[in-house]
Amino acid sequence: MTPSARLSAAIAVLDRVLTGEPAEKALTNWGRASRFAGSGDRAAVRDLVYDALRKRASSAARGGGLTGRGLVLGLMREAGQEALFSGEGHAPAGPGPEDFGREPDAEAALDLPGWLLPELRKGLGADTGAVAAALRSRAPVFLRVNLGKTDLAAAQAALGAEGIVAVPHPLAATALEVTENARKVQTSDAYLTGLVELQDASSQAVVEALPLVEGMKVLDHCAGGGGKTLAMAGQAKLRLWAHDANPRRMTDLPERARRAGEKVEVTEKPEAGAPYDLVLVDAPCSGSGSWRRDPEGKWRLTPAALDQVVAIQAEILDRVAPMVGPSGWLAYATCSLLPRENQAQIAAFLSRHPDWRLQRDHAFTPLQGGDGFYLALLQRS
């Protein structure tokens, strides 16, 4: 496919996304219907689609409208490549009067939902513009080195032998940032043998900050695929339980644990194993700290959906608090930049549970390299 033909494909995919079809599904359907497209073409179209979604507001302004064509034309105008809209061969038709665009205003230039800006500014302050700019870019690819099997230098060497270049990242002692050939990671021996796992650097930093001690009984209450479960296992010899409201998310966890050389007890009834020395709640959230990975989530979030997720967070905290033993720890984390889901949520919990104390908390933003994250460490009095 020519570069211009890739633009046409991205326009078609984005038109489907804008009607409500998930981007991954739209891309998969396009790929199945476009057998002529090679792996490089599919990757390029995917990148165009996600870049357009990350920059949806500013691209729509530059491209003359919130359509697939408008978004891709806006991207190309920003990049100085409007000439690719030539109408020749499989290229999109050249710009006409209906494609009149403009430079985005101050709000559109942030590429953030306008209704959330006051809350985001409350949490980010003077960094709002810089964080917004970071969220308009692709997220780096990070790996967590499994210290139970290797060390950073050996992991780097193993990856390098397969053409994957990775360098240490300061956010976490276990973090490597992949700088070349990231698409090779999941088929590499280093990954398949459990030397490394894909995990954001901020997520690794959250686990490093937990007060883990050898022999602790630990529950990962919102485990998902188990990334933090396995990261905790790499920090200390623990007795680990994992739970998720959707057990199917944990389907691969036993195999991942086996590959990492760890043991994890998957449970649908976490109360049965209580009390725990530490319970980690990586709560469902707006995902605002990871919008560069999931730009669709940025535009699909609504005030009602945010209200709902904040209520769910409170319910989870109230549920797990009784599972923590005397002097035990409750660690609350979100990949959110919103104070309502973070500091305000913890303040509300403490008002309902006066026998708990906030020992420390920390907020990460994409300006530090990884995703936006919040961690609060609570201890029962």
Residue 203, judged by CB atoms within 10 A of its CB (0-12, 13-18, 19+), counts as buried
Measured over the CA atoms of residue 245, residue 248, residue 254 and residue 260, the dihedral's sign is negative
Q: What is the DSSP letter of 92?
A: P
Choosing from 323, 335, 338, 376, the catalytic residue is 335
- Residue 350, Ramachandran bin (φ over 0: left; ψ between -120 and 50: alpha; else beta): alpha
CA atoms within 13 A on the CB side of 104: 23
Residue 361, judged by CB atoms within 10 A of its CB (0-12, 13-18, 19+), counts as middle
Query: Rounded to the nearest 5°, which phi and psi values hold at 197?
Result: -130, 150
How many whole angstroms separate alpha carbon 238 and alpha carbon 221?
15
Q: What is the DSSP letter of 127?
A: G
Q: Which residues fall within 8 angstroms of residue 20, CB to CB, at 6 or more apart?
A: none
Structure tokens at 210: 């937990």
Residue with tokens 């165009």: 48
Helix then strand then coil, % of the chain, to nearest 5: 50, 15, 35
How many whole angstroms separate alpha carbon 74 and alpha carbon 57?
10
CA atoms within 13 A on the CB side of 42: 16
Nearest CA among 224, 207, 202, 211 for reference residue 335 = 202
Residue with tokens 């409750």: 330
Q: Do residues 42 and 31 touch, judged by C-beta distance below 8 A? A: yes
How many whole angstroms separate alpha carbon 305 and alpha carbon 336?
14
Structure tokens at 160: 């390098």
Task: Respond yes or no: is residue 335 known to be catalytic.
Answer: yes
Which amino acids are annotated catalytic?
A: 335
